[in-house]
Amino acid sequence: MIDVQPLLGRRGAARIALIPPPVLDALNQGLIETVNLNEFLAIDLSRLTACVADHIGLEPDDERLGDTLAMLGAFKPMKRHLHVARALYDLTALRSDRDGVAHRLATHASDVARCWAAQWVMLSDLTLPDKLHALRRFAADRHFGVREIAWMAVRDELVEALDAGVLLLQPWVLDPDENIRRFASELTRPRGVWCAQIESLKAEPWRAQSLLEPLRADPSRYVQNSVANWLNDASKSQAPWVNQLCQRWLDESDVPATRYIVGRALRTLSK
């Protein structure tokens, strides 16, 4: 058994080739979390999948899982993870202990495994309110990667019911947890990162204004950056609206947090 204690608190390697073998081995066994993108990309997905399957009570040698792993090379990295999540999800379809398996996946030591657990929510037939409720734990996860997968897992469904989704997210922007507040902002970004753009919010960003207003002087830099990026997205298609909103915010809330948000929000328009 690997002693992971000396590996915790490490600084991530600047290049994949520089990742120490004990770190890579622990990552592939699902014993520790990644600390940067290089570690995430360096993982042997087949090995990690087999280890995680065994940890959560599934059969690592199942044919369904093997078929999925055999075809992963045909897909881009993020798609590979979705295929793994789907295979694990399908393996539990007829199991009476599915909730127990899901809990073990959602609380796994590996951040990658917890990402798969968040994707299980996307694959489920839950309603949008129930999906948001189920994703809350992942939106508040200690690992940045899990938090990103959390909002991506429900973005397409929210777009299909945008106005209802915005209403459901109103309590999120008032939450004491900065990660929960950021989730609501990041989920609805008009252009976003690693995801499809939201055409309706590019054309009419004001439809989500009720989520932005409570965050205009948020004390968290993590949230401030998300709100600023949200408005910068919107400025590329609705510049007059963003200019007007930012000016009003400065008039009504001339504090450092708001000034920071506005400065970053107008960075494209200022060029």
Distance CA 241, CA 231 (A): 10
Domain ranges of the chain: 1-43, 46-160
Q: Sorting pLDDT into bands at 50, 70 and 90, what band is 225? A: very high
pTM over 0.85: yes
Q: Is the pLDDT of residue 78 over 90?
A: no
Residue 62: strand, helix, or coil: coil
Tokens linked to 108: 């796994």
Neighbour count for residue 75 (Cβ, 10 Å): 12
Q: What pLDDT shows up at residue 80?
A: 95
Q: Structure tokens of 210? A: 């009720």
Instruction: Give the pair of three-digit tokens for residue 26.
Output: 């622990």
Residue 171 pLDDT > 80: yes
Q: What is the pLDDT of residues 118-152, one digit of tens each?
A: 999 999 999 999 999 999 999 999 999 999 999 99
The answer to whether the CB of 172 falls within 8 A of the CB of 183 is yes
Q: Give the pLDDT score at 77.
A: 85
The span from the CA of 149 to the CA of 120, in Å, is 11
Q: Residues near 111 by Cβ (< 8 Å), separated by ≥ 6?
A: 33, 34, 141, 143, 145, 146
Residues 40-58 pLDDT 10s: 999 999 999 999 999 999 9
Closest residue by Cα to residue 261 from 225, 235, 209, 230: 225
Give dist(CA 242, CA 198) in Å, integer. 17
